[in-house]
Amino acid sequence: MTQRDWIEKDFYRELGVTSSASADEIKKAYRKLARELHPDANPGDAKAEARFKSVSEAYGVLSDEKKRREYDETRALFAGGGGFGGGGGFPGGFGTGAAGGQSFDLNDLLNRTGAGGSGAGGAGGLGDLLGGIFGNRAGAGPTGPRAQRGADVESELRIDFIDAVRGAEVQLRLSSPGRCERCGGTGARPGSTPHQCPTCGGVGLVSRSQGAFAFSEPCRDCRGTGRIIDDPCPECGGDGVSTRTRLLTVRVPAGVADGQQIRLKGQGEPGRGGAPAGDLYVKVHVNPHRLFGRSERNADDLTLTVPVTYPELVLGSTLTVPTLDSTVSLRIPPGTSSGRTFRVRGRGVQRKNGKTGDLLVTVEVAVPSSLDDAATESLQAYAEATKSFDPRADLLGGRR
């Protein structure tokens, strides 16, 4: 992607956000559009696929703080006319003498710039462009095409509660830009190979003089790549990157929490110019369990609510309660209050580092919705026998 591409393409408009949008707003807009335009949701729809690529390209730039800053600076400086002061070149022109002499036209520079960028949203940046003009002092020297790390990719995964507690390996189907499988990322049709550009000698840059100035610019013949592809790959068009669907095995660690992200290094978009690939961030959503939950104070502790009868609390009892693996016996002492929590050691999340959580069992009295005559009479006799006990005596604070 070239500086001209950055000027001509409005990435904010592509995502439907303003130029002042926050990183969270940009991410939210991208995820919404990606879901709507995803090739899996629009099989055979070429327009949706093209739009999906454009949205991904825009997000690749705007989600990266450095790229977004360079993009904003480039558009602010060159958009709408391509020069300083709204004209074709610098005000008054750059010249060889005090009077101005020969002018320097930035539009001419942009017109001569080929596709020397690297990656989606990975153009060389304003510093590189101005560095080329002023003897390469503001940017990188003419050492070859600039390597660009691949963009990070985000995805989501839904798993069962038990898999989240115990850990699991889950298959994730992902459609995203990746190395073209047909050409292996070379950009050339299978059976052919790119060759070194004879114009720039494989460097990707050529020197040019403009009046008193000499500067380097991307080679027009190879578009700054240093390579010539005589027979481009029909799948990726010579880019070496195409949108594809792949199956990844995601290792979910034991104890992963709902909303937590798992990072898969190097599974994002491929890098350009030999740079490493980006990372894949998978947000995990955990389905709730019918019985068990996770403690808010310690995510390694599981929670369980067990209904009990009033006599079991008053007289004491031994309960059989479930765990994720089997069952355990829990002793309830006499006089236990409803809502009390008991700790069963070692029955929570078991992590690989040997750390193990507990099972927190809360007992709550279950009130029958109706009683037969015998039960009603027995309960009335109990109420009569314990009428001296007032559980609300402290609540009234001596106002009686």
Residue 367 annotated in ligand binding: no
Structural tokens at position 351:
């992590």
Residues 6+ apart with CB under 8 A from 74: 3, 6, 7, 123, 125, 126, 129
Ligand-binding site membership of 376 (annotated): no
Task: Say if residue 298 carries a ligand binding annotation.
Answer: no
Q: 200: annotated binding-site residue?
A: yes
Amino acid identity for residue 390 in this structure = D
Which residue is it, tokens 């450095």? Answer: 66
Dihedral sign, CA of 7, 12, 13, 15? positive
Q: Which residue has the tokens 């942009």?
A: 110
Q: Which of 185, 152, 148, 169 is nearest to 56 (CA)?
A: 152
Inter-CA distances, 115 with 111, 205, 217, 258, Å: 11, 11, 11, 43
* 4 annotated ligand-binding residue: no
Amino acid letter, residue 250: V
**Inter-residue long-range contacts of 332-338, CB under 8 Å, 24+ positions, other chains counted:** 332/308, 332/363, 336/363, 337/313, 338/308, 338/313, 338/363, 338/364, 338/365
CA angle 206, 210, 214 (to 5 degrees): 50
Residue 219 in marked binding region? yes
Annotated binding residues for Zn(2+), written as ranges, equal 180, 183, 197, 200, 219, 222, 233, 236
Annotated binding site: 180, 183, 197, 200, 219, 222, 233, 236
